[in-house]
Amino acid sequence: MATPIGTGVLNSISRRFILGEITDNIYRSNPILFRLIASKKKMVQGGLQIELPLMYGRFAAGGPYQGFDQLTIAPSDTVKNAALDWKQHYVPLAIDGLSLIKANSPEAIANIIRLLSDQSQMEMAENLAVGLWSDGSNPKDLDGLKVAIDDGTVNNTYAGLSRTANTWWKSKIDSSTAALDLPPLQAMFGNCTEGGRAPTIVVSRQEQYNRFWAKNTVYQQFPVNPGGSDELLASAGFTNLLFNNVPWTVDSHVFDGPNATNSAVVMLNEDYIYWFTTPRGDFAMEDWQKPPDQDAYVSMLLFAGNIGITNDARHGKLTNFAS
């Protein structure tokens, strides 16, 4: 007797053969998405928006006193809330009845579902990777790093707060230095550093990475390649070098500088970046459904969430390197 085919079989197979492999197939598609999902994912249980409480100043009162000195007890306003909208992504999966007839065994169905799943995961990963670095021009897409890491040049408002009214909500920008060299890189690194809070990763496209590699080779006094790497990135297959003991890696989605052939060099402090999502949208796969007017089955791979920056001043970008 032939093995029965239906949504029950498809649903059980999809969960057994697909969802268990999401980590490998999706999260390792690009280095920043991989690192955020691995260590900075925050589950949010509902809410009209994703709220970001920001401590932006010190107390106005407090300090030394003596004896009967009158003490100032007026409260200090040191916290503001930023807010991000929920952003959604989807990838459709569909299979027709004839394909199911041809794959009339659990093993064959598993292979078809695995193929559809792999392609949908790659598509979702690519869509989110583009959104991760976007400039906010598409209001339905993620509030990407191009608009989040800015001083008001790309977008004066981020997460509902004006950078003109809140100057502490500005990132560090170098839009004038044209030649990649260690001094401007170090200057940006220092500008983004406060105490023990320094950038944790440097990201660019391949052409800027190659320039940094060549610069390291020139400065060495013996003929070996630049050394060092970040273990988390290396374990996932991402080649990287170290700058100030911070990994520099390649992400093909990093936004352009003024010249489209050269990317920005972006310094991120991952202590202040979060990947927000929710259980219903954390790469959730819907049950397979049969349209009433087609011999076919459809499902959706869904994401809901956003990326959020909680301290803009600890990030920076150099956008004009052309040599």
Domain of 131: which CATH number? 3.90.1690
Q: Is residue 323 part of a domain?
A: no
The structure's pTM equals 0.83
Pick the most confident of 25-39, 221-235, 239-253. Answer: 239-253
Length of the chain: 323
Domain count, the chain: 1
Which ranges of 71-169 would DSSP assign to H, the alpha helix? 97-102, 106-132, 145-148
pLDDT at 306 over 70: yes
Nearest-angstrom CA–CA distance, 36 and 129: 12
Q: Is residue 21 part of a domain?
A: yes
* Enclosing domain of residue 303: 7-53+80-166+175-318
Q: Is residue 63 part of a domain?
A: no
Tell me which of 15 and 127 has the higher pLDDT: 127
- Tell how far CA 64 is from the center of its chain: 44
What's residue 193's pLDDT? Answer: 96
Nearest-angstrom CA–CA distance, 274 and 32: 11
Q: 157 - beta bridge partners? A: 162
Q: Is residue 64 part of a domain?
A: no
Q: Is residue 66 part of a domain?
A: no
Q: Is residue 98 part of a domain?
A: yes
Contact assessment for residue 257 and residue 319, using Cβ atoms and an 8 Å cutoff? yes
CB count within 10 Å of CB 26 equals 21
Burial category of 126 from C-beta neighbours within 10 Å (exposed 0-12, middle 13-18, buried 19 and up)? middle
Q: Is residue 71 part of a domain?
A: no
Q: Please write the tens of the pLDDT for every residue from 214-240.
A: 987 655 544 444 445 566 666 556 677
Q: Is residue 68 part of a domain?
A: no
